Amino acid sequence: MSGAPLRGVRVLDLSRLLPGPVATLHLADLGADVIKIEDHGAGDYARLLGEGPDGVSVFYRSVNRNKRGLRLDLKQEAGRAVLLRLAAAADVLVESFRPGVSDRLGIGYPALRAINPKLVYCAITGYGQSGPLAMAAGHDLNYIGLAGVLDQIGVDGGPPAIPNLQIGDLLGGAMSAVMGILAALFDAQRSGQGRLVDVAMSDAVLAHNLFPLFAMHSAAGVSARGCDLLSGGDAGYGVYATADSRYMAVAPLEKKFWDVFCAALERPDWKHLHGARGAAAVALRGEIETLFGSRTQADWSKFFADLDCCVTPVLGVAEALEHPQFRARAMAVDADGVTQYAPPVKLSGWAFSVERAAPAPGEHGEEILREAGFSGDEISALRAASIL
């Protein structure tokens, strides 16, 4: 990719499913040469999670674009030897094994650091490389539950609500991994020394669970679920149903926006209720609910389109992709037979493009090994031994 900031960076990706592949997706989109290494068995079974062209899921296609594919049997010594040889010239390795697995295979950080001191080795796990839960299995729901996030999601008096955005997997496993990798990579370029990047998805969720932490230090303490300022306590920050059973996101929190909101709706009597709490907030919320229930979402969207007071429609994903804002930002990309998201970061001097479709298992194996100096005979021998 011309002008890509990570061009020339080589990444070995041993991860699968969501957190690791999304982390390396961001690196690949920014120009890194990401080699997706899969085993001889199921490989990355994200391929089969959902529908997609030719039986390959949209999930797999979307998070593995711009990568090259290599199959490698790491249970055989010859397969591990291939990985070590590739790691000697790599800049980054990403894996998502449980703690200790890579060391038992002989491909852990100490072994790879011995042959490539500059290597940035990122291990993504649910609970990190240490602590009493380090070896425990988990999913996104477990991570956000343990970190005090799930407890705060939902309505007053109701149970915790499960978010459809995988906060732990994506905020924790993907974005925190990218942050750690880029920081370590930057330092490795000047110091000559790589690092072990230990990413725990539960840690990342806890570290961003900020407002309950702030509240914990206040006299009032942490609010009950659905009663916090941003989850139900303030009528000026909420979701209101429209006449056609759609919703508007209403968020004129600051006084300047609240005043515009009240003036536009010809409700000057609401102005003094800015920031109201308790019974006053409940009563105000009821009045706002009645008002928004009197028109359709399309009507309200048009009404607020030119008003600077933080009111927007609640859209479905298909509608979001067609919204003029996201179209102007070129956030939808048609590639590999499906609609995908473009990277969320725009950089000057670089235009994102999908250079490669998501790889088939081992699609680029011979190409990758030849670049690494393997001879034709060596590659043939590896194929004959079912290493590739």
pLDDT digits (tens, 9 = 90+) for 17-39: 999 999 999 999 999 999 999 99
Q: Where are the domains of the chain?
A: 10-208+334-384, 226-241+247-313
Q: Determine the Cα–Cα distance for residues 355 and 363; give it in Å rounded to an integer.
A: 15
Give the residue-averaged pLDDT of 96-112: 97
pLDDT score at 62: 98
Give the residue-averaged pLDDT of 80-101: 98
- Hey, which bits of 146-195 come out as E strands? none
Helix axes of 176-191 and 19-29: crossing angle, nearest 10 degrees: 50
pLDDT score at 72: 97
Q: Determine the Cα–Cα distance for residues 127 and 150; give it in Å rounded to an integer.
A: 17
Question: Catalytic annotation on 26?
Answer: no
Quote the mean pLDDT of the chain. Answer: 97
pLDDT score at 3: 87
Which amino acid does the sequence have at 339? T
pLDDT score at 1: 62
> Under CATH, which number does the domain 10-208+334-384 receive?
3.40.50.10540
The single residue of 139, 244, 272, 308 carrying the catalytic annotation is 139
Q: Percent of the chain scored above 70 by pLDDT?
A: 99
Identify the CATH homologous superfamily for domain 226-241+247-313.
formyl-coa transferase, domain 3 (3.30.1540.10)
pLDDT of 168 over the 90 cut: yes
Q: Determine the Cα–Cα distance for residues 85 and 192; give it in Å rounded to an integer.
A: 19
Q: Determine the Cα–Cα distance for residues 154 and 159; give it in Å rounded to an integer.
A: 6
Give the residue-averaged pLDDT of 128-147: 98
pLDDT digits (tens, 9 = 90+) for 41-53: 889 999 999 999 9
Question: Catalytic annotation on 364?
Answer: no
pLDDT digits (tens, 9 = 90+) for 284-308: 999 999 999 999 999 999 999 999 9
The single residue of 73, 140, 169, 336 carrying the catalytic annotation is 169
pLDDT of 2 over the 80 cut: no
Q: Determine the Cα–Cα distance for residues 385 and 388; give it in Å rounded to an integer.
A: 8
